[in-house]
Each structure stands twice: as structure tokens, then as C-alpha cells.
A and B are shown apart, each in its own frame.
Chain A
Amino acid sequence: MTMTGLDSATRRVVGILQERRSLSRLLALALAVLVGFSVLSPDIFFSVVNFQTIAFTVPEIGLLSLAIMVAMLTGGIDLSIVSVANLTALTTATLFATFGGADATGGQAVLLTVLFVAMGLLVALLAGLFNGFLVAVVGVTPILATLGTMQLYNGLAIAWTGGEALYGMPEAFLAIGINTVALVPVSFVMFALIAAALAVLLNRSPLGTKLRLVGANPTAARFSGIHNRRVLLATYVVTGLLAGLAGVIIASRSASASPDYGASYLLLAIVVAVLGGTNPFGGFGTVLGVVLATVTLEMVSSGFNIMRLSPFEYTIAQGLILVAIMVLDAVHRRRRGRVARPPRPEDPAPSGVAKEEMREPG
């Protein structure tokens, strides 16, 4: 996506077009999936119960994917999200187990739930802060820093529990993952609120603008007076918190906390983020895109289930969708590039995400 040489107005128009294009394409895909499966299975797929089931599965994947998207905005990545989610779930579960919260009822249970969830989120915040410290202060490449902390956090969780799952949480806590309000799952309402808050943070706050700028061009951001370090630190605190929230929802939905939960979620979250139009090299990504991508993939998963296709075939579909979207993007970009400036040879191929993550620290 080389846009050097364009003035800022043109760049903005291109940006909006790009945003619209990826969003509208995603919307078309979502509709195609919805209509396709509804026609194939009008009774089972196109039913309130099924949409409710889908709505129950969206929040945890959605929050983890949003975390990846935020990290990718700055040109980084956070591989530790699933470990952080489990660490949060374990903290909350352990507190309930230690202080006998499982038997609590009424107001006391609600109070304990709020308190213990807050403690869990505090752990997520600290975990994110440590990631941010490694990336922003020590200057470790994000993919490496979080590769290490992923092992570290997961290792701590395994050592803490001996690898076993924890149970015993009160109804008040489980309500988050099980109850519905007017047919809509509580967790889905929470997810929608968190996504909206994140969209405001990214689009309407100075931090959001800075985050994007640091991702688009760290050197330019630094010379414009942005404290890259602080922005990166904040980025990983946000991804940690989002992962922690996912952990709370996972624990309340499965009524347990385990160090090994959701091992396949990390890669899925990256797939969703990229499918949602996030540029892995930084600078571009939308909350709406990621939410749409999550819903689409969960619809495909549910549709495959109903069509009695194996979960392995769903894995194939996931991979094919991801590769197809990337290839379409590349072909489109190349064609546009050729029209815009014919004399130059084809765009230099980015040889890897890692390369683009090279940035001057601070």
C-alpha cells in the first residue's frame, strides 16, 4: 500500500474508499453466507435459536480479534492474548474458590462477582503492561516479546493450577455467559458495548489517532511530537484488557477456568482480524470490520455444523477464506498500482510481517 507522493487530501479519499471497499465486500460476504445457509437449511439455520447460539459464541472470539486488531494498528501483534484471557479467568475462579464465593447469593454474590472480575482484569492489565514494557521500553519486536510472554503467562497458569481446570463460580457470575435479555445473550450485549467503546476510543480520541499514526509510520509519528513509547505502552494495555474481558466471558460461559482453554483461538483471532480488513503492517483497521468478520465466520461455523460438515472442513473454509481475501486484495492493489504509475515495475513484495515491524524504539 504505497501511498507516498500523494497529498493528504487524496490520501484521505483513498483511505475512505479503501475502508468502504473492504467493509462493503465483507458485508456482501456476510449476506451471502447468511442467505446461502438460510436457503440450504431454512428450518434450522434460519431460526431464533440458531442465531442465539451464534450470538453466544461471537463475544469471546470477537474480543480476542479486536485485541489483535488494536495491536496490528500499530504494526505489531499480540500473541499472548489467549494466555492473558486464561490468566484472568483463573484469577477470578481462584478468588471465588478461596473466598467461598460459590455459595454466595443475592447482593453479596453480585458484589463479589464485580470485585473478583475487577481483580481478574487487573491481572490482564498488568500482563498487558509488561508486554508494553518489553515492546516500548526494552525495544523487543512485538511478535517476539509476546511470543515469550505467551509462554510465560501460560506457563504461570499451568504451574498455578497444575494444569487442571477450576470450577465453582456463583450464579451471579455465570449469568454473564448464560443469561439472555430479550433473547439476546448478556455477553453479546457486553460485547457490543465494549466494541462501541473501543470504536470511540480509536476514532474519537487522541490516542486512537496517535495509534494509527505510529502504525502507519513510526518515524514520522515521532517527528510529529508523538511519544511513541507511551502510545505503544497504551496499545498493549488495551489489548491485555480486551483479552481479559474475553477471559471473563469464556469463564462464565464454560463455568470453568483452565490454562489450556482456547488454544486454537489465537490463530483464529488473527484470521478474523485480517478478514475484517485490518492491515497487518499497521495504520489501518476498523472495529466494525472485525465485528462483521467475527459474525461471518461464526455463521459459517454454525452453517457447516448444521450441514453436518466436519469441524475439519470448517478449518479448511477458514484458511481458504483468509487466503482468498488476501489474494483478491493483492490482485486489486497491483492492478490499481499499474494504472496509477505505469513506468515502475511491480510493487516490491513485502517479504513478511516481521520486516515491516522494524521500527525505531521510542
Chain B
Amino acid sequence: MNRWVNRLRGRNNEGVLALTILVVVTAMTLVNPDFFTVSTLFGILRNSLVETVFALGVLIVIISGGIDVSFPVIGIFAGYTTIVIAQGGGSDPGVLGALLVAVVIGSLLGLVNGGLIARFGLPTLIVTLGTQGVFRGVLLAYIGSKYIAELPASIAQLSTTDLFVVQQGPVAARLHVFVVPVVLLCLAVHWLLQRTMFGRGVYALGSDAESARRAGFPVARLQLAIYALVGLLAGIAGIAHVTLSRNANPYELAGTELDIIAAVVLGGASILGGRGSVLGTVLGVVLIAVIKNSLILMGVPGTWQRAAVGVLLVAGVSIQALGARRKAARRRAVELEEARA
């Protein structure tokens, strides 16, 4: 019985999150039947797409025991620069071409972070704080600070491509085609973390860097790969953001880093490293989106959204901390008993 409860709860409280989402959705449907519609579902999904891709990168860094605050800036750097390059080149690079450029830019910027962290063993928060300023400054001072309304034709076309449309009376619920690549990315990162040596290394590094080193993990190379990968994911998220918002604005995204870290932490990833899962992260992102959406439908002024997410986060991390403490106390008691025996 107990085992089943534990199994359902999941290693990172995924079950609790899923249950919370379920309760919120049920309550909302009872209060306001308009909530439970396909268009609400599609809306929530669409609003979570970019955030989910960023969150996957953040998840990897957090599991490895680090923290990265430069990823939104890398994202908009990659997204905006890609559009600038496309316009300068005169010819339409096509969707894959644009994606490739964004991924390359993102990975290179990520490598800068990784290089500084791996080569000099610097604290990750401080390094990414510094590079964030440099990246944002370079973007706005030398690449462009103007809002670009006209996207290349192929990307503009992608902006309005839906996977399918459900007609509900007068309103059409649209599911954007980006859902497919985002789901694939989630699966890929899950596979990377759970089924590869790289993934083992990320968890090992986060649990204890010194032990990972002694176990033979190439710590410096791992760190380099981790931050490059975060840059790569941020590049994808950046070009996706530009596509979905149908314009390129270099001032956007910067400043959202802590919100996304909050979603990942709510999803059960331990900021101390060594713990976290893709499923939990996705649930964390969705839970925040659902709550924001519910508040609007309940007629709560939009101004209360931030406070509500704040309460949710404080409650979430407090429960996690109390749980960890209880577990530690239980372990101590067992050890004490064993010592006596």
C-alpha cells in the first residue's frame, strides 16, 4: 500500500503536481464550465511552449548543481540575430536554415559560459550574471535595438501554421504546430538524462562534484557540454519565441529567467543538484500556466497573478524543505538504532 503511494507520488513529487493540476482544473470547471474547453487547453499549451524549452535547459543545469541566469538573453540574442542575418542576406533562409543559425549562435554563447565555468571553476550564478550583461549589451549595442515587424516569409508562414483546428461554434481552437517539436525535445532530453552516460554524469556532478571526478567523469568536459546544451536549447526557444510572437523584439525575454527557474524548482528539481525530471519540469510549467489562466477566468484581476504564483512557489519550496528535513530526521533515527543494535 505504502509502496503504491510512493510510486504514485513519484521520485520528485510529480504525482503531487499532477494531482494539484487535476484539482485546480476540476475546481475551475465546477466554478466556470467555460474553463473546460479545447480552446483553453490549446491556449495553455501555446503559452507554455517557449517556456518549456527554456525550462528543459534550466533543468539540466540545475540537476548538475549549477544555475544559469543568462539563457533568456541567449534565446533572444539567437532569435533576433537570426532574423537580422536573414534580412541582411536578402534571401529567405527557410525554417530549417533559421533554426540552424539560431542553434549555432545559442550553442556558441553557451560555450562561453561553459568555458569560463569549466576552465576556471567559477561559481555558475556569478559567471552567467556577468555573461548575461555582456550578451545583452552586445545584442543591443552592436546587432540591433530596433523592433522588427517583418519576418522572412517562411517563418511568417510558420507562425500561423496550426497542427489542427477544432471548430467550436463561432470560435476556432487552434493548436500550434510547434507542439510537435516541443514534445520531441522533451522526450529527447528525458532520454539524454535517463539513458546516456552524459545524463548519468549530469546527475553525478550535481550530487557531488568531487565524487563524480573520482568516479572518472570528465567534469570539465561535462560542464562545457551542459552549458553548450543550455545555449542550444535557448537558441531553439528564442527562434520559437520570435516565430510565435510574429515579430523580433530584442528587449523581450530578458528578465524572465527567475520565473522559469521557479517553474523548474516547483517541478521538483533540487537547487542543490542531483535531482529533477523532465516530467516534473513540464508539470511545473503547466501548473503555473493553468493557475494564471484560472485566475483570469475566475475574474481575479491580472494584477494578482504574480502574487498568486509567489504564494504557490513559497508553499512549494517550503513543503519540499520540510519533507527533506523529515527524511533526514528519519535517517538519523535509523542510524542511531543500528548503532545501538
Contacts and interface: CB of A to CB of B under 8 A. Distances in A.
Interface stretch (A55-63, A120-128, A144-152, A192-200): A144-152
A316 B310 contact: no
Interface in B209-241: 209-210, 213, 219-220, 223
A148 B310 contact: yes
8 smallest A-B Cβ distances: which pairs? A155-B307, A349-B121, A152-B310, A319-B133, A316-B137, A155-B306, A151-B310, A319-B134
Contact of B130 (A271, A331, A346): A271
Interface residues of B, number: 67
Interface string A152-172: 111110110011000000000
**Most chain B beta carbons < 10 A, residue from A149, A267, A313:** A267
B173 interface: no
B148 interface: no
A158 B303 contact: yes
A318 interface: yes
B272 interface: yes
A153 B262 CA distance: 15
Given A139-B321, A152-B310, 10 more contacts: A140-B321, A144-B265, A148-B314, A154-B310, A158-B307, A159-B301, A159-B304, A319-B135, A326-B130, A353-B126
**Most chain B beta carbons < 10 A, residue from A147, A153, A156, A263:** A147
B129 A270 contact: yes
A50 interface: no
B137 A319 contact: yes
A265 to B, nearest CB: 12
Contacts of B213: 348
B66 A351 contact: yes
A140 B91 CA distance: 53
Nearest to A77: B125
Contact of A134 (B64, B259, B314): B314
B303 A140 contact: no
Given A348-B210, A353-B123, A144 B317 contact: yes
A323 B130 contact: yes
Given A316-B134, A318-B133, A326-B127, A158 B306 contact: yes
B304 A138 contact: no
A47 B125 CA distance: 37
A315 B317 contact: no
A323 B136 contact: no
A141 B273 CA distance: 12
A17 interface: no
Contact of A352 (B67, B138, B145, B325): B67
B305 interface: yes
Contacts of A327: 116, 120, 122
Interface in B235-291: 255, 258-259, 261-262, 265, 271-273
B42 to A, nearest CB: 27
Interface string A341-362: 0000011111111111110010
A263 B255 contact: yes
A355 B62 CA distance: 10
Contacts of A349: 117-118, 121, 209, 219-220, 223
Interface in B103-130: 116-118, 120-127, 129-130
A147 B116 contact: no
A361 B325 contact: yes
B165 interface: no
A39 B150 CA distance: 45
Contacts of B255: 263
Could you tell me the dominant secondary structure of chain A's interface residues? Answer: helix
A270 B69 CA distance: 12
A159 B309 CA distance: 12
A191 to B, nearest CB: 24
Could you tell me the dominant secondary structure of chain B's interface residues? Answer: helix
Contacts of A347: 121
Contacts of A140: 317-318, 320-321
A141 B272 CA distance: 8
A108 B113 CA distance: 56
A351 B211 CA distance: 12
B136 A352 contact: no
Contacts of B313: 147-148, 151-152
**Most chain B beta carbons < 10 A, residue from A152, A154, A320:** A152
A327 B130 CA distance: 12
B133 A315 contact: yes
B130 A152 contact: no
A159 B301 CA distance: 8
A40 interface: no
A150 B311 CA distance: 10
27 contacts: A139-B321, A140-B320, A144-B265, A149-B310, A150-B310, A151-B258, A151-B309, A152-B310, A152-B311, A152-B314, A155-B304, A159-B303, A159-B304, A159-B307, A162-B301, A271-B133, A315-B137, A316-B141, A322-B126, A323-B134, A326-B123, A327-B116, A330-B122, A349-B117, A352-B65, A354-B67, A361-B325
A313 B324 CA distance: 45
Given A155-B308, A158-B303, A147 B138 contact: no
A152 B307 contact: yes
Interface in B57-74: 64-67, 69
Contacts of A163: 303
Nearest to B135: A319
Contact of B205 (A79, A147, A331, A351): A351
B124 A351 contact: yes
B265 A147 contact: yes
A281 to B, nearest CB: 7
A322 B311 CA distance: 33
A211 interface: no
B137 A145 contact: no
B317 A154 contact: no
**Most chain A beta carbons < 10 A, residue from B139, B265, B321, B324:** B321
A274 interface: yes
Contacts of B159: none
